[in-house]
Amino acid sequence: MIKVGITGGIGSGKSTVARIFEVLGIPVFHADDEAKRLIKNDNKLKTGIVKLLGEEAYVNGEYNRNYVASKVFNDSDLLHRLNSLVHPAVAMHFESWVKSKTTPYIIKEAAIAKSKSGIDHLIYVHASREKRVERTLKRDNFRTIEAVLKIIENQQNEADFRALADFVVVNESDLLIPQVLEIHKKLISF
């Protein structure tokens, strides 16, 4: 089974590109959704999070996202430690999900791709910082421009994304479907 990652910064259009692959019948694993689900339901992970961030991380069994966000917002070391708990749990679940699929390839949508471990090909979705800020603010009315810029600052920069990428999708004013079809054709010919 060929595993293909879709990566890119916040608001670049990863989910939009992933949806086009889904329309083509390709299964998509949404790593962020899966992380949210596991944070809510996986007891081992919940225990680790409480140990790291305190009892306030959950209120009446519900994940206290605002509290966690406020804790890690200006503490990149703590954010890294939180990610080190969540990512292995998601990775384990991903491997069993892959085993259940029978298509020529599958897609994994994930904002972070510091290495290509476990992934055969990587698609980088690119959009300018201006477009990403504009689209994110339009989509998420709970975010401020400062918060979006801070997230961008904490994410990989464009050069790092490009260095790892096998395919680049440009989501500026370019059409997405022809770019995705081109990649799909290549992936089914491998």
- Would you count residue 5 as binding ligand ATP (CB under 6 A)? no
Q: Cα separations (Å) of 158 from 12, 36, 125, 155? A: 11, 26, 10, 9
Rounded Cα distance between 165 and 102, Å, is: 25
- Quote the tokens at residue 119: 């992934």
Binding to ligand ATP (CB under 6 A) within 125-144 occurs at 135-136, 139
**15 annotated ligand-binding residue:** yes
Q: Which is nearer to ligand ATP, 16 or 166 (CB)?
A: 16
Q: How far is CA 124 from the centre of its chain?
A: 11
Rounded Cα distance between 35 and 94, Å, is: 10
**118 annotated ligand-binding residue:** no
Q: Which is nearer to ligand ATP, 12 or 64 (CB)?
A: 12
Q: Measured from the CB of residue 112, what is the shortest distance to ligand ATP in angstroms?
A: 10
Instruction: Give bridge partners of residue 28 from the DSSP assignment.
Output: 107
- Would you count residue 8 as binding ligand ATP (CB under 6 A)? yes
**136 annotated ligand-binding residue:** no
Q: Which is nearer to ligand ATP, 111 or 164 (CB)?
A: 111
Q: Which is nearer to ligand ATP, 89 or 152 (CB)?
A: 152
How is residue 47 annotated by DSSP?
A: H
Rounded Cα distance between 104 and 188, Å, is: 6
- Would you count residue 170 as binding ligand ATP (CB under 6 A)? no
CA-based radius of gyration for the chain: 17
- Would you count residue 10 as binding ligand ATP (CB under 6 A)? yes
Residues of the binding site for ATP:
11-16
Site for ligand ATP, rule CB under 6 A? 8, 10-16, 111, 135-136, 139, 171
